[in-house]
A and B are shown apart, each in its own frame.
Chain A
Amino acid sequence: DAGVTQSPTHLIKTRGQQVTLRCSPKSGHDTVSWYQQALGQGPQFIFQYYEEEERQRGNFPDRFSGHQFPNYSSELNVNALLLGDSALYLCASSLGQWKYEQYFGPGTRLTVT
């Protein structure tokens, strides 16, 4: 049973560029949440996707957007990258929008130079 997978593992981008991160949820899960974890901090909730729609959103600007596909996989897009966007981006999946038992992927380390 595959757990949550994320790609790529590491990514280096330049300020102003755009980036797309990908997540495949644990088998059987239909809800995907994205978190940003800056160095030395806890994860911060970006948004959650359920039934291909954004259902919840944290305090992140519109530069952060996402998508969920019919197979429940998800993408996180960040436009106009800033140095402060450098972080570990974590994807978590769960079965159902209101279920708190989330399974996290290993994350994508984004470095913006």
Chain B
Amino acid sequence: AQSVTQPDIHITVSEGASLELRCNYSYGATPYLFWYVQSPGQGLQLLLKYFSGDTLVQGIKGFEAEFKRSQSSFNLRKPSVHWSDAAEYFCAVGATNAGKSTFGDGTTLTVKP
């Protein structure tokens, strides 16, 4: 069965500082991997996705993520955080034989001025 672990429940960074959110997955084959962002009272917005090919994936809002098969990780990064990035971030994995995604429990990002 596929699963996703986001080890950090809550992260606080200063505005302008760099950010890395961790994601580890468990899946037997090559996974489809996603990062979503959820602002309070809103649905999920897709930041980026990895299906195959280049292991460094660029997304919207200046985010990027790197797929590391050897570490079963798909960490999200941003070089300089803006106050508007404060939100809940979810990593998800999709199986190649099913049209559904399994989500981690999320990481809450707080941005200090």
**A residues within 8 Å of B by Cβ?**
4, 31, 33, 35, 40-45, 48, 50, 55-56, 58, 90, 92, 94, 97-107
Contact B49 A33 (CB under 8 A): no
Q: How far is the CA of A85 from the CA of B104 in the complex (A)?
A: 19
Contact B103 A44 (CB under 8 A): yes
User: Hey, which chain B residues are within 8 Å of A55, CB to CB?
Assistant: 99
Contact A99 B103 (CB under 8 A): no
**B residues within 8 Å of A by Cβ?**
4, 32, 34, 36, 41-46, 49, 51, 90, 92, 94, 98-106
Q: How far is the CA of A101 from the CA of B99 in the complex (A)?
A: 10
User: Hey, which chain B residues are within 8 Å of A94, CB to CB?
Assistant: 99
Contact B41 A100 (CB under 8 A): no
Q: Which of B34, B46, B104 has most chain A Cβ within 10 Å?
A: B46
Contact B44 A56 (CB under 8 A): no
User: Hey, which chain B residues are within 8 Å of A4, CB to CB?
Assistant: 43
Q: Which of A58, A102, A104 has most chain B Cβ within 10 Å?
A: A102
User: Hey, which chain A residues are within 8 Å of B42, CB to CB?
Assistant: 106-107
Contact A43 B99 (CB under 8 A): no
Overall SS of chain B's interface = strand
Contact B99 A56 (CB under 8 A): yes
Q: How far is the CA of A58 from the CA of B2 in the complex (A)?
A: 12
User: Hey, which chain B residues are within 8 Å of A104, CB to CB?
Assistant: 36, 43-45
Q: Which of A4, A33, A42, A58 has most chain B Cβ within 10 Å?
A: A42
Known interface pairs A40-B105, A42-B104. Does A97 touch B99 (Cβ–Cβ under 8 Å)?
yes
User: Hey, which chain B residues are within 8 Å of A90, CB to CB?
Assistant: 43-44
Known interface pairs A42-B106, A101-B49. Does A48 touch B43 (Cβ–Cβ under 8 Å)?
no
Contact B99 A33 (CB under 8 A): yes
Contact A99 B43 (CB under 8 A): no
User: Hey, which chain B residues are within 8 Å of A105, CB to CB?
Assistant: 43
Q: How far is the CA of A92 from the CA of B100 in the complex (A)?
A: 10
User: Hey, which chain B residues are within 8 Å of A35, CB to CB?
Assistant: 103
Shortest Cβ distance from A38 into B: residue: B105
Contact A45 B32 (CB under 8 A): no
User: Hey, which chain B residues are within 8 Å of A42, CB to CB?
Assistant: 4, 90, 92, 103-106
